[in-house]
Amino acid sequence: MFETVRRLRRSARVGRTAARIYFGYKRTQRRVRNLPPEAAAAAWEARHEEFAETLYRLATDLRGLYIKSGQFIGTRTDLLPEAYTRSLSRLQDAVPPHPFGVVRATIEEQFGAALEDLFARFDAEPLASASLAQVHRAQLPDGREVVVKVQYPEVAGLVRLDVRNMRTLVGIVARLERNFDFRTVVNEIASQVPLELDFEREAEMTRRVRQNLAHLPGVVVPAVVDGYVRPKVLVTEYVDGARLLDAERRDAHAPDRAALAQAITSAYGHQIMVDGLFQADPHPGNILVLPGGRVALLDFGLTKELPDAARRGFARLVLGTANRDGETIIAAFRELGVRVRNEDPEAVLATLAILFEPRPIDAGPRELRVRNRAMRANPVEQIPGDLVLLGRVIGLLRGVCASLGAPLSPMQMLRPYAEQALSR
């Protein structure tokens, strides 16, 4: 009975939020008709600020898929008002952890043993907390230092409900924002999250990616600890490195920034276009910089296998973009299943820049208006889930290359892997 009431309240909260956003924007549309341009812009900005904070509170209160969706949307500086990306980007590093008692109970239930029998030491304070799980550092009885990933107990039971609720919420957004249909994002999340909740599958994916990248000297994937894998608990070796955003420690490990950008790009280029199996939830927290300029890739919960046709289509898209060849890009779009309203090569190049290039940090109002007009003039009418996830990878790589001052764009650095994929 209590669980039923909790689910009803959860759905009602989302429904109220969706209605509040929809009717709030409708009221603003009516109110600004008779206002001068500056006053109208201020009214819209105030409304964006209000509802961006509303969605942030919704995500942090309900957690789970709402945080994951907010994290994704928070990276789309190209498609949403800045107020939304500014608020929702806080979800990348500010997910509240669960109490240690909940973590202990999950581990002991999964292994059927006391925590003290499983680990010689277990740090109660988590290293990080994410949308579906949190990770703790520990030591095995044999002395090995490890990382323990523990799934939140309530997540699995709420997946279907949350997906249905998010479709309602995003359906409202689709009525207001027609440049990009975020229902594609929700559909992709709905198909992938059940896989993310299976840590035994994640262990298998981690082993496969580790084997695929073993010959790349600059890339490390932590080993899975045999015997310490359960559906809701996964133990891997601990890797000591600098977070990508910790500039001081990162530069001490990798003073050659351009080489570091190339190492990260190569790791993803090999996964996507050579192996057809890639880490599809990239963000700076999943990348560590090690001494000697090596990089460690963490967290393979969302790991995507690409069909050969999608792998080749993306390789053609990389080459077309690197060469600024609109005709090749159009052919790649058709092969990938992307449909835009206007297939004129110049219009497609403009749309591609918006989809795969993050908005410059110092972009002024005029540049933002130009980008928005270009997107409205040639909206994406259809995009497959594979490309939604690939777009996240390219967005990460562009941000990495920009922050490290790499002389080449990610698409240019990915060119050798695209050529290798097509030559095969």
Quote the crossing angle between the two packed helices 385-404 and 308-322, to the nearest 10°.
40
**Which amino acid would we find at residue 100?**
F
| Pairing between β-strand 294-297 and β-strand 219-220 as defined by DSSP bridges | parallel
d(Cα 44, Cα 10) in Å, to the nearest integer? 28
pLDDT at 369 over 80: no
Q: Which residues contact 253 (CB under 8 A, 6 or more apart)?
A: 241, 242, 289, 290, 291, 292, 293
**Which amino acid would we find at residue 256?**
D
Task: Check 78, 281, 299, 386 and give the catalytic one.
Answer: 281
**From the CB of residue 116, how many other CB atoms can be counted at a distance below 10 Å?**
12
pLDDT at 255 over 90: yes
Q: Encoding tokens for residue 31?
A: 């109110």
Q: Is 240 tagged catalytic? A: no
pLDDT at 276 over 90: yes
Q: In this structure, what is the dihedral angle of CA atoms 40, 45, 51, 52, given to the nearest 10 degrees?
A: 160
Whether 265 contacts 413, CB under 8 Å: yes
Whether 281 contacts 299, CB under 8 Å: yes
User: What pLDDT digit, counting tens, does each position of 318-364 carry?
Assistant: 998 888 887 888 888 888 887 776 666 666 666 666 555 544 444 44
> How big is the CA angle at 285 (ends 282 and 286), to the nearest 5 degrees?
50
Domain residue ranges of the chain, discontinuous segments joined by +: 2-96+155-195, 100-153+198-233, 241-424
Please provide the DSSP assignment of 389-421 as one string.
HHHHHHHHHHHHHHHHT-SS-HHHHTHHHHHHH
d(Cα 76, Cα 377) in Å, to the nearest integer? 18
Whether 119 contacts 137, CB under 8 Å: no
d(Cα 300, Cα 405) in Å, to the nearest integer? 27
> What is the second-level CATH architecture of the domain 100-153+198-233?
2-Layer Sandwich (3.30)
- Supply the mean pLDDT for the chain: 83
Q: Which residues contact 42 (CB under 8 A, 6 or more apart)?
A: none
User: What pLDDT digit, counting tens, does each position of 166-195 carry?
Assistant: 777 777 666 665 555 666 667 777 777 788
pLDDT at 138 over 90: yes
**Which amino acid would we find at residue 326?**
G
User: What pLDDT digit, counting tens, does each position of 287-301 carry?
Assistant: 999 999 999 999 999
**Which amino acid would we find at residue 150?**
V
Whether 44 contacts 25, CB under 8 Å: no
Q: Encoding tokens for residue 193?
A: 């999250």
User: What pLDDT digit, counting tens, does each position of 374-402 carry?
Assistant: 555 556 667 777 777 888 788 778 878 88
pLDDT band at 239 (very low <50, low <70, confident <90, very high): very high
